[in-house]
Structure 1
Amino acid sequence: MQILFLHQNFPGQFRHLVAALAAQGRHRLVALGQPQAPGLPGVEFVRYRPKRDPAKSTHRYLHGMERAVLAGQAVIETLLSLKRQGFVPDVIVAHPGWGEALYVKDVYPAARLIHFCEYYYHAEGADAGFDPAFPLTLDDRARIRTRNALHLLNLEQCDVAVAPTAWQKSLHPPIYHDKIRVIHEGIDTVLAAPNPDVRFTLPDGRVLTRQDKVVTYVARNLEPYRGFPQFIRALAQLQAERGDVHALIVGGDEVSYGSKPKDAANWREKMLAEVQLDPARCHFVGKLPYLDYLKVLQVSSAHVYLTYPFVLSWSLLEAMAAGCCVIGSDTAPVQEVIRDGEEGWLVDFFDQDGLLARIGQALEQDTAALRRAARERCLAYGIERGNAAWLELIGVG
């Protein structure tokens, strides 16, 4: 079978699936991505580049749509070249959120088009407007409504779609629900596993082990969408009350979701100007190599995962698989993987006292049962299960 992958940051969410297809050894795999995409060994990878950015004169609601059209045009020009060389895919697997898949059916009308439907935006009931610190305006609501035009086009033209969680599927218009399967791409539950002998070396040479009291927090970038301000405020209070707690904070200072603060270079700087933390016990370690990041999870006494109702982070599932005692926000889709008091504890996103109380329990009580249940729950999100469902959908299982 000939299979085409479209993802501006390929491989993205398709990493495990592509590896499974390559291991079968009987498919031609071709992928398209933008210049910054890392690619993947064993896959024919073609980079494309949109010819320009959206015009300054374009209405700001439509900047995303124009960017998507430009990406779609660049993709079909690349595909026409591949088609002239004889490449005709049987199946196209695409993340359509940036426009790459807009016109592929015009080049390959007979190909089966599978979309990864990650998110459909709402002005109420999801991320937008969730945090009172960032109230929505009418302009915001109009912008969100317009933004979904791309996603509606994508839903209309795909043959079948995949959403990683039931809640993310539920955000899409009900008329398309029959098209959407729920398949999480999976995490590596072999690498992400408990290690009672783990040792994490701090930048100054000190070593943390499972005998230390360590609170952990992980996000791609430190920002409000992942509850960074709420976590830092709680941590400052925790450190003021206890002198024996270290904090390991993983994440960068860029913006993944939302926007930068108006009065600081990034959210880390803003929060450090607001609260007092003990620098000897609060360790911002930035973005780590994967195995070092896993050591952070394995050494954790209490792992905090806060999020707006939004896409589910791989880091939550990896923390559970590593046997962390997770204190998560009582928000979707966290509620889909953690039942309060069974695989972890859930607290109101804005309840600092409740968060502190649960962290205190994790530091002082025996949490072995919660940790075991978290890992057991996470086995349902292993790579093997995700790959099996994807391969069956593609028709090569």
Structure 2
Amino acid sequence: MRTLFVHQNFPAQYRHVAPALAARKGHQVVALGENAGEALPGVQHVRYKAPPTGAEKTHRYLRRLENATYRGQQVARAAMALRDRGFTPDLVCCHPGWGEGLFLRDVWPDARLLYYYEFYYTSRGADVGFDPPGREVSIDDACRVRLLNANHLLSLQVSDWGHTATQWQASRFPDWARRKLSVVHEGIDTAAIRRLAEPSFTLADGRLLRPGDEVVTFIGRGLEPYRGFHSFMRALPEIQAQRPDAQVVMVGGDEPHYGGKPRQGGTWREVMLQELEGKLDLSRIHFPGKVPHAALQALLSLSAAHVYLTYPFVLSWSMLESMACECLVIGSRTPPVEEVIRHGENGLLVDFFRPEEIAGAVVQALRDPAAMAPLRRAARETILAHYDLRKVCLPQMLTLIDRVAAGSLSPLEI
């Protein structure tokens, strides 16, 4: 069987399943992406040219679709080059979020198309209008959000089947689309991602964090409101007042990955530090930026309290990895988190918008770590039972791939 994976940042969500397919006898696996990615055993990685940017005069509702069209065109050209060299896939696995899947049906009419649908935008019940609470979504924003799904709707038309990572993400899609959508998470490699026995983490000033230190952790690709950075920052004065030995480490870059930059300019970190000026002991707050995964695992292994806050949006891998490392996760009481964390059983849940509640949970975790031990163990057990890469998620994904390739799935199966 021949399989093509398409993702601008390959391997991304296909990191484990692509080499697993390549290891099968008689399988050829090719990956098509824009950026140079990690080499995977048995996988041939081909790159397409970066698309041009859209015209500035395009209606702002349509700019994302226009950029997706340009990208889809570049991918189609690269796909035709593969076809002309004799490569015709039986199955194409694609993340269509940036437009890469728009025209693959036109290049390979007979291939089976399995697309990864990450998020369906709506103007109610999810990220839009969530922050600040009670804010009415303008008709302009509602119309703009509706057009955000244009690329997904076109991709849903051409794909044979789709999948997404969580039940809540699946629930955001229209019912007619949900009937052709399976829920399969990419999985957590629990054999590798676990609490280390003797971890340490070096701070920028040379200080070393070791087991027994009161370490509070927070992780986001970007330090931004979508991941609750502002709410956590507002909780820090109370945390520092009650726990004078606590060291807070916030991993992430200053560039937002979701949502926009502050209207007043600068970064969200600068905005929050200005808002809280004079209320924080900055010697106990650390911003290491983005760190290598090995250092991240060491940090999570030291964590006495790990704060994960998010809008109703895509659930971060980092939260599941922190649970695999037996962290005490203090998560926002928002649907993506509530799907995984049960308050008082495998973690703690707090109101996204109440810094005093966030602070109280962190202080509780630091004050009585022994009481949190059962929750930590239960957190890892949750990952082992539902998100383990080798025993749960990879077998599910391979089964889905086999069934889509064979054409044996029915729209009635969910």
Relative to the length of structure 2, the TM-score reads 0.93
Asked if structure 1 preserves the Cα contact closer than 8 Å seen for 2:201 and 2:208, the reply is: yes
User: What is the rounded CA distance, in whole Å, between the counterparts of 2:91 and 2:58 in structure 1?
Assistant: 34
Aligned 1:121-132 pairs, distance under 5 A? 121-132=121-132
SS at match of 2:114: strand
Q: For the structure 1 residues 191 and 39, does the alpha-carbon distance in structure 2 shift closer, same or farther, using more than 3 Å as the test? A: closer
Q: Secondary structure at the match of 1:61?
A: coil
Secondary structure of 1:251 counterpart? strand
Match of residue 281, structure 1, among 266, 279, 284: 284
Greater displacement, 202-211 / 98-107: 202-211
* TM superposition shift of 1:135: 5.6
1:146-157 aligned at under 5 Å gives the runs 146-157=147-158
Q: Which residue of 1 aligns with 2:402?
A: 395
1:381 pairs with 383, 387, 392, which one? 387
Counterpart in 1 of 2:118? 118
Distance 1:196 1:44, change over 3 A: closer
SS in 1 for 2:63: helix
Which residue of 305, 308, 311 maps to 1:305?
Answer: 308
Letter in 1 for 2:15: R
Whole-angstrom distance in 1 between the partners of 2:274 and 2:27:
54
Structure 2 regions of 5+ residues with no counterpart?
Answer: 406-414
State the Cα deviation string for residues 360-390 of structure 1 (Å, max 9, x = none).
Answer: 1110112110000000001121211211111
- SS in structure 2 of the partner of residue 24 of structure 1: coil
Distance 1:172 1:45 in 2: 31
Tell me the equivalent position of 2:186: 185
Residue 199 of structure 2 aligns with which residue?
Answer: 198
| TM-fit CA distance, 1:290 | 0.4
Mapping for residues 352-363 of structure 1, pairs under 5 Å: 352-363=355-366
Question: How far did residue 38 of structure 1 move?
Answer: 1.6
Question: Does 2:76 match 1:76?
Answer: yes
Q: For residue 102 of structure 1, what is the aligned residue in structure 2?
A: 102
TM-score normalized by the length of structure 1: 0.96
**Residue in 2 that maps onto 1:318:** 321
Q: Secondary structure at the match of 2:23?
A: helix
SS of alignment partner, residue 283 of structure 1: strand
Aligned partners of 1:219, 1:247: CA distance in 2, in Å?
14
Which amino acid is the alignment partner of residue 374 of structure 2? Answer: A
Partner SS for 2:291: coil
Contact 1:196 1:210 (C-alpha < 8 Å) held by counterparts = no
- Which range moved further: 187-196 or 339-348? 187-196
Point out the more displaced range, 55-64 or 309-318. 55-64
**2:142 maps to what in 1?**
141
Compare 72-81 and 370-379 and name the one that shifted more. Answer: 72-81
Match for residue 412 of structure 2?
Answer: none
Q: Given that residues 238 and 356 in structure 2 are in contact (C-alpha distance below 8 angstroms), is that contact kept between their aligned partners in structure 1?
A: no
Determine the structure 2 residue equivalent to 1:169.
Answer: 170
Is residue 160 of structure 2 the alignment partner of residue 159 of structure 1?
yes
What are the within-5 Å matches in structure 2 for residues 2-81 of structure 1? 2-34=2-34, 36-42=35-41, 43-81=43-81
- The one-letter amino acid of 2:17's match is L
CA deviations 1:253-295 (Å, max 9, x no partner) are 1110000012232111111111132222111111000000111
**Which secondary structure does the structure 1 equivalent of 2:81 belong to?**
helix
Structure 2 SS opposite 1:280: helix
Quickly say closer, same or farther: Cα 1:197–1:254, change in 2 above 3 A.
same
SS of the equivalent of 2:335 reads coil
Decide which moves more: 133-142 or 224-233.
133-142
SS in 2 for 1:235: helix
State how far apart, in whole Å, the 2-side matches of 1:158 and 1:216 are: 40
Distance 1:64 1:229 in 2: 27
Measure how far apart 1:353 and its partner are: 1.7
Query: What letter matches 1:208 in structure 2?
Result: L
| Equivalence for 1:263 | 264
8 Å CA contact retained: 1:39, 1:45: no
Aligned-pair distance for 1:210? 2.3
Paired letter, 1:330: R
What is the alpha-carbon distance in structure 2 between the residues aligned to residue 238 and residue 368 of structure 1? 21
* Residue 158 (structure 1) shift: 0.9
CA deviation vs aligned residue, 1:25-58 (integer Å, no higher than 9, x gap):
5321111111x34243332222112552111221
Measure the CA separation in 2 of the matches of 1:224 and 1:155.
Answer: 30
Counterpart amino acid of 1:140? D
Q: 2:242–2:363: 8 Å Cα contact kept in structure 1?
A: no
SS in 2 for 1:125: coil
Is 2:253 the partner of 1:245? no
Alpha-carbon distance between aligned partners in 1 of 2:338 and 2:36, rounded to the nearest angstrom: 32
User: 1:61 Cα deviation (Å)?
Assistant: 0.5
Q: Measure, in 1, the Cα distance between the counterparts of 2:53 and 2:198.
A: 51
Runs (5+) with no aligned partner, structure 1:
none
> How far apart, in 2, do the equivalents of 1:323 and 1:41 lie?
29
Pick closer, same or farther for the CA change 1:236–1:382 going to 2, 3 Å: same
